[in-house]
A and B are shown apart, each in its own frame.
Chain A
Amino acid sequence: MLDNEKIAGFIGKKILRLISLLVIVCFVSFMLIQYSPIDPVRAYIGEMPVSAEHKAKLEEYWGVNTPPQEKFLNWAGDALKGNFGISLIYRIPVTDVIKERFTASLALMAASWLFSGILGFILGIVAGMKKGTWIDKAIKTYCYVLAATPTFWLALILLMVFSVYLGWFPIGLSVPIGVTAENVTFLDWFLRLILPALTLSLLGVAQIALFTREKLIEVLSSDYVLFAKARGEKGLDLVLRHGIRNVALPAITLQFLGFSELFGGTVLVEQVFSYPGIGQAAVAAGLRSDVPLLLGIVIVSACFVFFGNAIADLIYQFVDPRIKQQEASI
């Protein structure tokens, strides 16, 4: 089949691109860290007093005096074998830290991604349909206010209102303090997921809603909608038949392209809610000079954003019949 061949080609090209991207990202981040005033020995021993002799031993162990290119190649060689080293903060392999943290974040990001996508799309459709009315103005104002709101600020407000004053939700973390892992229920975890997810969603709504609104207005003033009206179609039926059909694809694409903002938002939100996800780990790794963990997270986040963009491309090239056709005729 032609289609299968095309998809294989597409995936092949994407993988090549991902590899070259990762090489560059790794190299640049490695060098940035190399030339930053980070002392791995100090990071390891913390405030413990050590003798000069002991320190020299540690320096040799951590390879402080090895030339940077050699260090990079050593690290890259190990990384290729799947060994990203041991996290200095957590004292367990980086892969284990990332696995655990990323799963926690994934739940948070998936929930807010879905929620903001659906809510934003619906708000955008309503605003576009009712263009110029008070509903439209209200939705637009809401979106502009949200688009101008810093993430951490909104997170703090929600935390103050819902956790502190109203006491509806726990204040932070992903599990209750002082409860053993076996005794943590799904509800415990779920209740702690709601506020961070809500913060992220509310912010994500603005972009998708404004985009959907703009796009729907464009579609509704198109020739084909005019013709549909001339043929007796009207109201909600018309919007459902022609509006949603033409707006959905670009909106979904945009939502996938938003993976980078989603990740950035997660870092801030996790910090405020002390939610033990990848974002919080990234901040901790940065502040406490955990180089192996920081590099590991950089790679994972680059892959994550790349994955989102690749899906957006895939949708455009293989779902939209117009682009499908163009490709075939070239």
Chain B
Amino acid sequence: MGNMGNKTEINAKGKKETEALLKVEDLSLSFIQYASGLRQTELKVICNLSIEAYRGEILAVVGSSGSGKSLLAHAILGILPSNAKLDVKMEYNGKKLTQEIKEEIRGKEIALIPQATTYLDPLMRISNQVIGCVEEKNEGLMKKVQREVFQRYDLKPDVDRMFPHELSGGMTRRVLVSTAVMSSAKLIIADEPTPGLDEKTLNETLSYFKDMANKGCAVILITHDIEAALKISDKIAIFYAGTVLEVANVEDFKNNGENLRHPYTRALWNALPQNNFQAIKGHQPMQDEVIDGCIFYERCSKKNELCSKGIPQFKSINGGVVRCNNVS
């Protein structure tokens, strides 16, 4: 697998570095549910979401818990449940990313770092899980690689033979990160990797992602922790009620957040404890609410008549993109 990884690296270097490794355009995701009797309803979870991930960069997707961010990761990997309806244009490395290709490259080119211990098989020893499903002749080699990776993350040899419930929170995180490192993937999607970690472990975990980006990987960091995201990310996508309202550069959050484009992003900045610690009124619309105009309309301070009619289109401003009618 190591050889294969090198080859793709060379290919990737041949291409323009400016081209996105992963392009997600207008992703809409809904679930078919049975309401009463045989009547089906469609629950829209994500709509018109667009993001791009570049090599060597960390893109943070920041949004509140339970707003469907994890489903974005699952959609990219093609592991959604069977009642999900996905509509999207996705490109990976310049090629259309279909379900077949997802199945082919996941675990090899794209790796997921899940959020919790529940993502490890409770009855399988750690080293077997991290190595994964490999051919018998490669097992010895993979075992060596796994040991080296564990060494790097300060996981002692006795961890190899442990079961998931025997790991501490920090160890679990390092084991989960190891699975991605083992795969030599080019695109890493980390789903909520930070909750429940103390300051030291948190910084350590974040540094692993920085390392991966420095080695040329594209990292998508899905989190609700905007402070953690600000520490290491290059770009921040603001996820609100199933869509992305703004993709800002991390510098935009400096200087009193003056360069932030969307009113919601500003409100978010204002709500941080180290800034004004002021929250705005209202809450995110529920998934079954039908909204015609801008999804932030109800809570927006700058709304006008245009905002209630049709979803604002993405505009490129100052090296970032935003969905707002009132920004220029």
Contact = CB atoms under 8 A, between A and B. Distances in A.
Interface string A218-240: 00011110111111111001100
Interface stretch (B5-13, B103-111, B236-244): B103-111
Contact of A242 (B116, B121, B166, B179): B121
Contacts of A91: none
Given A223-B118, A226-B79, A325-B165, A231 B124 contact: no
A230 B132 CA distance: 11
Residue of B77, B81, B120, B123 ringed by the most chain A CB atoms within 10 A: B123
A321 interface: yes
A301 interface: no
5 contacts: A227-B112, A231-B179, A241-B124, A242-B121, A321-B123
B208 interface: no
A322 B107 contact: no
Interface of B: 74, 77, 79, 81, 103, 106-108, 111-112, 114, 116, 118-124, 132-133, 163, 165-166, 179, 183
Nearest to A131: B82
B165 A233 contact: no
Contacts of A241: 121, 124, 133
A229 B165 CA distance: 21
Residue of A227, A242, A320 ringed by the most chain B CB atoms within 10 A: A227
Contact of B79 (A229, A237, A246, A322): A229
A245 interface: yes
A228 B111 contact: no
B163 A246 contact: no
B119 A227 contact: yes
B171 to A, nearest CB: 15
A231 B118 contact: no
Contacts of A231: 106-107, 111-112, 132-133, 179, 183
B274 to A, nearest CB: 34
Nearest to A321: B163
Contacts of A325: 163, 165-166
Given A227-B112, A228-B132, A325-B166, 13 more contacts: A224-B118, A224-B120, A226-B114, A228-B121, A228-B133, A230-B77, A231-B133, A232-B133, A237-B133, A241-B124, A246-B123, A249-B123, A322-B163
Given A223-B116, A322-B163, A233 B124 contact: no
Contacts of B179: 231
A224 B116 contact: no
B107 A224 contact: no
Nearest to A224: B121
A47 B104 CA distance: 83
Given A232-B106, A241-B133, A226 B119 contact: yes
Given A226-B79, A233-B107, A233-B132, A245 B124 contact: yes
Nearest to A248: B123
Contacts of B165: 321-322, 325
Interface string A234-268: 10011001100110010000000000000000000
B121 A246 contact: yes
A224 B112 contact: no
Contacts of A320: 123
Contacts of A224: 118-122
